[in-house]
Structure 1
């Protein structure tokens, strides 16, 4: 029951990240299409595009952190036995958890700052803090998924959906 619940959370976060990939692709496509065919620029398209890209980055961190599909260097990991590979995985995931938690804390400060300073886009005068808040929620999701990954690496390595992780005692 608990495993199925955690897997639904993981899948949901990955679907949200995929949704933002689609939104960014659509924004770029429409901006280029309108600029090249009608010589028209969407108001605030640059600001909205870069903020959407920021959202995509933070939700992408969430999606890749659990699966362990981010860029890794396996020079040592590939040359040790399964038991030490698991310990390296646990250590690396704990370091990642610490770094992303600190990043989440500092990003919240940025969300609060843009809200309090009433930072607006240039053309439409839209507040920017909601974009930062959505990115922050993605970062919170990354912390949650990394914590789940850490828990599973330590206590239930058989539940990790990572081809690198071998179940060892």
Structure 2
């Protein structure tokens, strides 16, 4: 499972690089050669959408996203674990609903034959790749929840120093 998690993180990192390369190349071509990549804007926005969903997958398992933890900081180790499990279950519910809704968007985009402006490429494959990132997020959040309940030391170092009170 850890290799799968690392794979998800590498995919997300790859999309960060792809978005950065798209922006850099577009700016250089426009500035030095007065040339624009056909569908450069469409590719940029579609890749950014993909990046967001794969980024959600990468950060959801590690718990590396921005959090507000005033209550959590003041809680004992036992209650920190309860808060973590509850928060992860809520996140799992929200991302699962989001995944279902995004799948509907993939189906609608394919049915409507939405195309890019210049090259007339179908956009639904980009939506599909974004949806796969959301599916990966659901899987990783489910794994995180399972590990928080049954093996918390494999997820957070916070839970490893003392046994549950």
Q: Shorter-chain TM-score category?
A: over 0.9
**Which aligned pairs between 1:36-115 and structure 2 lie closer than 5 A?**
36-115=31-110
What secondary structure does 1:90 align onto? helix
Alpha-carbon separation, structure 1, partners of 2:7 and 2:70: 33
CA distances 1:26-73 after superposition (whole Å, capped 9, x unpaired): 100000000000011111111110000000000000000000000100
Question: Any gaps of 5 or more consecutive residues in structure 2?
Answer: none
Residue of structure 1 in register with 2:134 after alignment: 139
Q: Does 1:130 align with 2:129?
A: no
What TM-score, normalized by structure 1, do the two folds share?
0.94
Tell me the number of residue pairs that the alignment of Structure 1 and Structure 2 aligns: 162
Alignment TM-score, normalising by the size of structure 2: 0.96
In the alignment, what sits opposite 1:166?
Answer: 159
Q: Kindly report the root-mean-square deviation, in angstroms, between the aligned alpha carbons of the 2 structures.
A: 0.8
The gaps in structure 1 that reach 5 residues or longer are 1-5
